[in-house]
Amino acid sequence: MESMTNAPYLLLKARQGYRMGHGTMYDHMFLDGLEDAYEKGSTMGVFAEQCASDYHFQEKNQMILH
C-alpha cells in the first residue's frame, strides 16, 4: 500500500558519500507521485486544470457520479 505521508526524501550519490560541495535532496512524493509526466516541474493538478479548460469540462458535471 502506498503512503504519500511516508514518502522519503532522496539523496542521490549518498551511498558513495559527499566529499565537498552541496548535495541535492529530492522529494520522492513530488517526483514519483505528483509531478506531471509530460511537463517536468508541473503538478498533475495543473495538468488536470488545463485539460478541463481545453475540453470545456465543467466542475458540476465532474461531481456527478451516476
* pLDDT at site 54: 93
Alpha carbons 4 and 29: distance in angstroms, whole number: 6
Predicted TM-score (pTM) of the model is 0.57
* pLDDT at site 64: 65
Residues of the chain whose pLDDT is less than 50?
Answer: none
* pLDDT at site 37: 80
Quick one: which H or E segment has residue 38? none
Alpha carbons 34 and 26: distance in angstroms, whole number: 13
Q: Which amino acid is at 14?
A: A
* pLDDT at site 10: 92
* pLDDT at site 9: 92
DSSP 8-state assignment for residue 43: B
Indicate the burial class of 52 (C-beta count within 10 angstroms; 0-12, 13-18, 19 or more).
middle
Alpha carbons 45 and 35: distance in angstroms, whole number: 9
